[in-house]
A and B are shown apart, each in its own frame.
With several copies, the nearest count.
Chain A
């Protein structure tokens, strides 16, 4: 086993959670790498959907945006954006939706809209995009985010997307029938919601990470599972495939940049 970065561990741990028959609504960045890593390793038939309308896409390199041409060229079919949101997302066809964000709380509620007041923001963030309905329409939501005191906060400034709300059966009380955030993979640990309280709980620590290191980057008192395991380190295959994917991506995008 070679050495690996925390980001690599994060991507690989997220990839492992995906199954061969999953239909995944992919975002850009960490989710895109994790989804394509899964496809290139243990889940060759996984269906990757980007909200630009590309269904069953198999890009050779990671896209820079959710609408890159290669996503369309390698897709089973490319549909309009209204169809994507109506038939495929709202239609309940997606098993896993990936989310990330600027702020997250212990119940997987996410803010990507504003820091500060909505109408007089301290920082205006990009906004929700697909997130509000990804959070409610996908069967499950997986979250990938790097831990930091700025991001892992006791109280988020804005509910861009609803996770487990105040916990417990809050989703059900709002009439939401899907499971919501079922996995949080960070650069330090794997978190899963407590079955009853729905508070995200650390279930495995990445190799070499301590509980204190996790707590030091989180703005609430972290709950740890009764038995916290160690995340299995990346296998040689996982690392090789991920690094080759990144190398192809850099080469492709670097080349295009030079070309301009």
Chain B
């Protein structure tokens, strides 16, 4: 059963130093507020899983909280590179970063295999590609009927998956809409699931029967954090803050600037900052 609680308690009770954690959301619904809370609570030595590390992992990596990252595309979407991640890989700043690199297809199917209780994902992939030369976690399996050699990767089974969603009801059932990404699979693949939502409603009312819902008994802890996905977006609530992604390119280009920015915007902030940000976004947009 989902415990409806504060973000602070949800993170404290569920995310430990040394854990393997997936913060998922594909461009849409990236759980920034939860990641910032992890940073504030001093949680470290994390193994982070995410298809697209995005700015959210650039921040965790730049703060030295990450031991290893499992990923498939390390870019600042629509902008360029992830400069903090690159600094960690190329210059070990602020610490060395282990990497396990896959393709999107492999990551998506490895989450799916995790949700399906399987030890590995078997798929058609990496044909002629060099990743399987450098990643020992890419192996193969032979189809016993056709003899085709298929790729195999271990299923992804995070200790904790953290996601942001639009709505929960009072029972703790969680509704995800729009670009749904891999959140359902990442959640069902994990031992514990932390969800932040834009709003908690008394009742979903008359929902379409086939919508993407995580029943409350699949969720460990749930916290309402309006704006918790900014600068990513929440379909039906607020748009992507594209300027923040552009700004990040500058902030992350310089170690000192980055450090100052994180101090002001994360370490000295609270989850309420996110509600303020979307209020400001909406105001200026109006």
Question: Chain A residues in contact with chain B, CB under 8 A?
Answer: 21, 23, 28, 47, 51-56, 63-69, 71-73, 75-82, 84-87, 89-93, 113, 118-119, 121-133, 135-137, 158-162, 165, 170-171, 174-176, 253, 256-260
Contacts and interface: CB of A to CB of B under 8 A. Distances in A.
B27 A65 contact: yes
Interface in B66-104: 71-75, 77-78, 81-82, 85-86, 89-90, 101, 103-104
A-B pairs, 6 with minimum CB distance: A67-B27, A162-B128, A129-B73, A126-B75, A65-B77, A64-B78
Given A52-B26, A64-B240, A68-B240, A82 B182 contact: yes
Contacts of A63: 78
A128 B127 contact: no
A135 B130 CA distance: 13
B77 A89 contact: no
A130 B104 CA distance: 5
Given A66-B77, A91-B188, A256-B243, A132 B124 contact: no
B136 interface: no
A89 B209 contact: no
B116 A67 contact: no
Interface in B201-236: 209-213, 215, 217-218, 233, 235
Contacts of A133: 103-105, 124-126
B149 interface: yes
B148 interface: yes
29 contacts: A52-B27, A52-B179, A53-B181, A64-B242, A66-B77, A67-B77, A69-B178, A75-B209, A78-B179, A82-B112, A86-B117, A87-B115, A90-B117, A90-B125, A91-B188, A93-B188, A124-B89, A126-B74, A135-B129, A162-B127, A162-B128, A170-B128, A175-B127, A176-B128, A256-B241, A258-B284, A259-B284, A260-B243, A260-B244
Nearest to A95: B217
Interface of B: 1, 26-28, 51-52, 71-75, 77-78, 81-82, 85-86, 89-90, 101, 103-105, 108-109, 111-112, 115-118, 123-131, 134, 148-149, 173, 178-182, 184-185, 188, 209-213, 215, 217-218, 233, 235, 239-246, 281, 284-285
B108 A85 contact: yes
B209 A80 contact: no
B130 A158 contact: yes
A76 B104 contact: no
A131 B75 CA distance: 14
Given A76-B215, A91-B188, A136 B127 contact: yes
A75 B117 CA distance: 24
Contacts of B242: 64, 253, 256-257, 260
B73 A126 contact: yes
B239 to A, nearest CB: 6
A186 to B, nearest CB: 21
Contact of A132 (B103, B182, B239, B240): B103
A65 B118 contact: no
Given A72-B178, A86-B115, A130-B103, A77 B211 contact: yes
Nearest to A131: B103
Contacts of A71: 179
